[in-house]
Structure 1
Amino acid sequence: MRPMRTLPLLVVLCLASSAHAQVFKCVDADGRITYTNDRNLARGCQPLAGDQSVSSVPAPRPATTPSPASSSPSFPRVTPDTQRARDDTRRQVLQRELETEEQALAAARQALEDEEKRDVPEERNVRRTQDGRSYSSVNTAKTDERLKPFRDKVEMHQRNLEALRKELSGLR
């Protein structure tokens, strides 16, 4: 083998042996076990044997306890009748908003339809043929630009209606 090919091989082998790290098992005063490969954090910890298999298992989640405010007897509670009244009021408000939004959507659609029917001379391309006849065509880019705000308004009202219907369907 040539020396140029063996040099990179030797470098890789040397680096691979230095990549091995010692793992330490640490037990704190409360009995919790942690593992580390940082020698500075491992003071007073036991080194693990290098021939052990490695397994990664997530730590168990701590048991959740109710917050002190919710378990306190002085924490304000809402009676079922009060909550039902609040839900009814919310439903009525959402229903009114839905009706208003439906009317706004109908008006936006009508405005778009009226604007689509409108003939704007600036959007026409008039061309003359060699024999003197003329013909016109619509410049769709200009028409689309003029209609974009109207289309956007219709889409906005449609999204609002979808959101209101979803909100209403989620009520109890």
Structure 2
Amino acid sequence: MKTPMHRLLLLLTLLAGSAHAQVYKCVDEEGRVTYTNDRTIAKGCTQLSQDQPVSTIPAPAARPSPAPSAAPQNFPRVSPDAQRERDQSRRQILEKELAQEESALAEAQKALADQEAVRYGNERNYQRVLDRLAPFKEKVEQHQRNVDALKRELRELR
């Protein structure tokens, strides 16, 4: 006698065989190859045989059209002197931020060194020491990343 579980397995087996879709290979005028299982799109495409393995990959996102190379005539212009002034102001701001960040990095490194020199009685397990030092190390790493980013920004200025 067949149980409901046997019937369900039989039904799933039958449905799985009919779930395979036809896959078509399409080549456009420019020689680009695409694959589809949509019959409405596949006009003029060749049908692939069912015995080939198929994997799916999402289509690449459409590329935005390139921006025009020249600015329109009515586009506001900045005089070279005004631009130099802006660049100099930006450089001064970045240098000030860099000095502050380097100072914060030095303080974070000192705090980490101070904490590394201390051992508490409840830290017989070295993992507890590592857990205690982790926030100090993260702070040092964060300030180091900020310093590196500011230096990179300054290098890229004109």
Matched, 1:75 2:80: no
Q: Which residue of 2 aligns with 1:5?
A: none
Structure 2 segments unaligned to the other structure (5+ residues)? 1-23, 30-40, 45-64
What SS class does the counterpart of residue 71 from structure 1 fall into?
coil
- The structure with the larger Rg is 1
Give, in whole Å, the separation in 2 of the partners of 1:96 and 1:112. Answer: 24
Aligned residues: 104
Instruction: Give the letter for the 2:72 counterpart.
Output: S
Percent identity over paired residues? 46
Moved over 4 A (4+): 62-67
Unpaired segments of 5 or more residues in structure 1?
Answer: 1-18, 26-35, 40-61, 125-138
1-structure distance, mates of 2:111, 2:68 = 57
How far off its partner does 1:65 sit? 5.0
Quote the Cα distance in structure 2 between the aligned partners of 1:64 and 1:153. Answer: 41
For 1:162 and 1:64, the matched residues in 2 are separated by 31
Match of 1:128 in 2: none
Q: Aligned letter for 2:138?
A: D
Q: Relative to total residues, which structure has the larger strand share, 1 or 2?
A: 1
Cα drift, residue 117 of structure 1 = 1.1
TM-score by length of structure 2 reads 0.57
Q: In 2 relative to 1, CA 79–147 (structure 1 residues): closer, same or farther, beyond 3 Å?
A: same
Distance 1:142 1:79, change over 3 A: same
In the superposition, the TM-score normalised over structure 1's length comes to 0.53
Aligned counterpart, 1:141:
127
Return closer, same or farther for 1:90/1:121 CA change in 2, 3 Å cut-off.
same
Distance 1:64 1:140 in 2: 57
Tell whether 2:43 aligns with 1:38.
Answer: yes
Aligned to 2:84: 84
**What residue in structure 2 maps to residue 123 of structure 1?**
123
